[in-house]
Chain A
Amino acid sequence: MIEYCIANYLIEEGRITNEQFGELLNKQDAARVKLGLIAVSEGLITKAQADEINRLQMTRDARFGDIAVDLGYLREDQITMLLRMQGSSYHAFLQVLTDEGIIKLEEADEIMKKVRLKEGLSTADIDAIKEGVVERILPIYMQDIPQPMIDLAGVLLRTIVRIADRHAFIEKAEIYSSYELKYAEVQEFGGETGKFVTAYEDVHGGLVLLASAFAKEAFKHVDEDSLDAVGEFENIVNGLYCSKLSKSDINFDLEPQHTVESGTVTGVVCVLPVRIRNKKFNFIVCDKI
């Protein structure tokens, strides 16, 4: 996630292009090591236990480490150690930047200072982004946004990272009283205590990337097929959010997702830009129609 902040700075400085950023992310991916793999290779858990955790991860909106602790397979301090061993994506991205000769390792601290000032972040914010802790990152970019919308964005971001693309990040969310949708994939859901409308709208190619990563199919345009994949992803995210609510005995029903070629949502409308690879889409959530 921190790679987006660093890339924003390097692009502005003319040291890399947005195109190049996409390639750098691919290179970073090649160096990916999974927590489960490290835990197994260190002899802390068995392969079968790792598989079980991975399976649970698909249906619970929770992290590998949290589930492992829940099941009593790993202790908190072991998780901390594993995360350290895994190497943060900050270090992985730094590695790629230095390997490619884009920056020198000695420059890293100075660059991070400039990134922090440019983005208007505190050192604590930077640490949260470096560690990729979604719960701490959301409040940085979603100030003055109603809590249920932040929670929903949290489910979205974690789900993208888990099943579509681990390179995902957000930009500052804005609130509107009315927002015009263009070619968006929309779903309504709610119950007695409230009603939400979510919409996924392309900015420049991000929605196509999301659809392709989720459906494992190479879509080229925002069209009926790629929007169908986005709709199913949206359905899953909203379902996971409803599942969290049902633990507090709130029962929300999902309506079928559908494409809106043009339309307006009014009420409290939160627009959250989501970065995926070197592209972007808007996640829109509205608390009434």
Chain B
Amino acid sequence: MRSVLIVDDSRTSRKILRTILEQHGYNIVGEAGDGEEGFLMYKKLNPDYVTMDITMPKLSGLECLSLIRKENPSAVVVMVTAAGQKEKMIAAIKEGAAEFITKPYEEKDIINVFERLEG
């Protein structure tokens, strides 16, 4: 079973993602509420996938993405973030984000992206 770490400062947002991914057979190994916690949990858990919000306190999703990719250049990080953050999305592509999903999303948007990642 593929493992996923969810990084998002909103508990509601994490819960919605967890429910969708679990229903499709993914194992949620951890939830982090900010970028700092996200990076620490990534190092500890070494998950197959990370979902990453951008707008978060302490360390933003972009900073966390960059740290994770430095730690593991083949880390697969999916950005899941509010619309209207064009510049940050471009920055995330440069940092090696694997995919993007904009909020609000539907269940199938999430699953389509994960199916693509599975190849």
Contact = CB atoms under 8 A, between A and B. Distances in A.
Given A256-B9, A256-B55, A235 B103 contact: yes
B106 A55 contact: yes
Interface residues of B, number: 25
A242 B88 contact: no
Contacts of B12: 211, 214-215, 217, 225, 228-229, 231-232
Contacts of B55: 235, 254-257
Contact of A215 (B15, B84, B105): B15
A244 B105 CA distance: 17
B41 interface: no
A285 to B, nearest CB: 16
B16 to A, nearest CB: 7
Given A55-B109, A241-B84, A246-B86, A236 B57 contact: no
Contacts of B109: 55, 58
Contacts of B84: 238-246, 252, 254
A248 interface: no
Given A228-B10, A229-B12, A238-B82, A59 B105 contact: yes
A76 interface: no
A236 B82 contact: yes
Contact of B108 (A55, A236, A241): A55
B104 interface: yes
12 contacts: A59-B83, A59-B102, A59-B104, A59-B105, A229-B10, A236-B83, A240-B83, A243-B86, A251-B87, A255-B55, A256-B9, A258-B57
